[in-house]
Amino acid sequence: MESKTTRHSLENSYSKHMFLDAERFQVGHAALSKSPNQRGFVSLVGAGPGDPDLLTVKALKALQRCDMVVYDRLVSQEILDLIPASAEKIYVGKRCGEPSLKQAEINQILLQFAKQGRQIVRLKGGDPFIFGRGGEEALALAEHNIPYTVVPGITAAIGCAASCAIPLTHREMARSVTLVTGTVVTGQLPAWSAIIAAGQTLVFYMGLESARAIEQGLRSHGVAADFPVAIITQGSTPLQQTHVTQLAALEKTALKLKGISPALIIIGEVITLRDKLITTLDAVAWQASQPLTLDV
């Protein structure tokens, strides 16, 4: 039986942690409102999959309070238009095959301007901590004692799957979801068997260039040739396209879509539900027809 002393100790510990969490939030919130001649601050903000209506209220508030935005290629123009005219914008996007800043250089930009007292939003497509290198940037800031906060965003797997009527989990069909970056499937993964299991859905980010390796890797580990595959390009935007095919045709389909970005590959039995679910879902067309109202 739990003693009164033990319960009192646990309650005090819980209250202390709650106070610390609240204090951190208040410090971060206040830092966003400081003038540029005071201590710098960085918000690592997820912009979501592209649809500006999927931007969180907290992300919008961060954009409205900042005086500098360091942003990626995958941030949509509609979201960039929400940045105050008074805020300086620095583009650090990366596109395959084109010259781009290295991650260390991006880290240096954040450190340099934060030390000058700037209130910075580091704006990333999707979520900062899911294939967004947000962890690397957070480590760099922490190592230099730069205060920062993280504002989560809707990651592409969630946003794109929802907008094209593919549930990533479904009872008796998919019990788990594995998110994989397509840039490591050419040999850096320890074993394909580590990501293949019955009753799960696989989602490959940035996977078009690695479609051949994905197809061959899954086939060689026993996944059937007719296993359902969907490729979603420019998901959650008016330009979204969903290409449903089979594993044996993944490489061929990806070649037809070469150069279209961003692209997401979903592999799993849940894709078979789409034909029924899509009949009354026209989310992208509906969203595109609505006026953007983000007043907060």
Instruction: Give the active site residues.
Output: 72, 94
In whole angstroms, how far apart are CA 109 and each of 103, 121, 132, 152, 225? 10, 12, 17, 21, 47
Structural contact between residues 44 and 140, judged by C-beta atoms closer than 8 angstroms: no
Nearest to 147 by CA among 18, 38, 40: 40
The three state secondary structure string of 189-220 is CCCHHHCCCCCEEEEEECCHHHHHHHHHHHHH
> 120 φ, ψ to 5°?
-105, 135
Structural contact between residues 71 and 78, judged by C-beta atoms closer than 8 angstroms: no
Q: What SS3 state is found at 160? A: helix
Tell which phi-psi region holds residue 224, choosing left (phi > 0), alpha (psi between -120 and 50) or beta: beta
Task: Give residue 276's identity as a one-letter amino acid code.
Answer: K
Residue 73, token pair as written in the block: 């290629």
